[in-house]
């Protein structure tokens, strides 16, 4: 369901109409009606590469949210191998009228291909602009580039997410893998598949445990 934007609103026994009601809703933050639909726009990490369906990111996050007692429906918008360009190309039609909020987790394949961070930034900006135009709330999940391409590339890429989050006024998490990165690096292999890129079911569980509160705040602010 969409945000409630009625021209007439009753609050605390007082009738608020027209612009006054709109101002109240703006200042009080998002007000969700009924079930909240969230699109998870991403790549193989979102899609659940190498895992049985129920062990993927979206099903595990759905189960976590269900356990919190919130009425949320997650849509798996992950496409294995997708870059930020692919996400930008499908953003508009992916955000159907029933989508209230969106998790954006893209950029890993850009890094693997050594794509210019300026290009990745522009693609992510396009996605966030579409979301803004459609009044869709966003949680932007960042990614830290390795040092393979040098310090300048890493610095340029790593700043994309916090800067765009500030520019568009959206929620931001520094890293998709924050739940694993908190552990001793010697423990990390136990949470990944053989390719050392994609998390296994145990790894996804840690990721969901870390990101869950941020997603909950997205769908149930305050």
Same domain, 70 and 125: yes
Same domain, 109 and 180: yes
Same domain, 11 and 112: no
Domain carrying residue 13 = 1-31
Same domain, 11 and 72: no
Position 29 pLDDT exceeds 80: no
pLDDT band at 210 (very low <50, low <70, confident <90, very high): very high
Instruction: Find the distance separating the first CA and the last CA of the chain, reported in whole Å.
Output: 19
pLDDT one-digit tens code per residue, 65-123: 999 999 999 999 999 999 999 999 999 999 999 999 999 999 999 999 999 999 999 99
Same domain, 67 and 125: yes
Please tell me whether residue 159 adopts helix, strand or coil conformation. coil
Main-chain dihedrals φ then ψ at residue 82, nearest 5 degrees: -70, 145
- 3-state SS, 169-218, equals CCEEECCCCHHHHCCCHHHHHHHECCCCCCECHHHHHHHHHHHHHHHHHH
How many domains in the chain?
2
Same domain, 3 and 50: no
pLDDT one-digit tens code per residue, 151-178: 999 999 999 999 999 999 999 999 999 9
Same domain, 6 and 77: no
pLDDT one-digit tens code per residue, 36-54: 999 999 999 999 999 999 9
User: Directed axis angle between helix 117-133 and helix 84-94, to 10°?
Assistant: 10
Q: What percent of the chain has pLDDT over 90?
A: 82
Same domain, 17 and 69: no
Same domain, 21 and 68: no
Q: What is the mean pLDDT of residues 185-201?
A: 96
CATH of the domain at 183: 3.40.50.1110
Q: What is the mean pLDDT of residues 54-67?
A: 97
DSSP state of 149: G
Same domain, 7 and 49: no
pLDDT one-digit tens code per residue, 4-25: 333 333 333 334 444 444 444 4
Same domain, 104 and 133: yes
Position 194 pLDDT exceeds 90: yes
The CA-atom distances, in angstroms, between 204 and each of 52, 61, 64, 144 are 12, 9, 12, 18
Same domain, 26 and 47: no
Residues annotated catalytic, as ranges: 44, 195, 198
């Amino acid at each position: 369901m969409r945000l409630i934007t009625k021209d007439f609103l009753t609050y605390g026994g007082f009738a608020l109409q027209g612009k006054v009601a709109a101002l109240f809703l703006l200042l009080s933050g998002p007000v969700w009606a009924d079930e909240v639909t969230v699109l998870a726009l991403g790549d193989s990490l979102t899609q659940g590469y190498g895992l049985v369906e129920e062990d993927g990111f979206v099903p595990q996050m759905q189960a976590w949210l269900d356990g919190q007692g919130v009425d949320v429906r997650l849509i798996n918008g992950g496409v294995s191998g997708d870059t930020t360009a692919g996400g930008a190309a499908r953003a508009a039609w992916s955000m159907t009228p029933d989508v209230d909020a969106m998790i954006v987790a893209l950029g890993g394949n850009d890094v693997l291909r050594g794509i210019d961070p300026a290009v990745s930034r522009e693609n992510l900006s396009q996605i966030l602009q579409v979301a803004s135009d459609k009044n869709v709330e966003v949680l932007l999940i960042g990614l830290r580039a390795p040092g393979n391409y040098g310090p300048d590339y890493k610095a340029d890429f790593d700043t994309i997410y916090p800067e765009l989050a500030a520019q568009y006024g959206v929620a931001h998490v520094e890293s998709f893998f924050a739940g694993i990165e908190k552990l001793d690096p010697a423990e990390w292999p136990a949470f990944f598949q053989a390719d050392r890129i994609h998390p296994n079911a145990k790894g996804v569980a840690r990721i969901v445990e870390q990101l869950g509160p941020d997603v909950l705040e997205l769908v149930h602010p305050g």
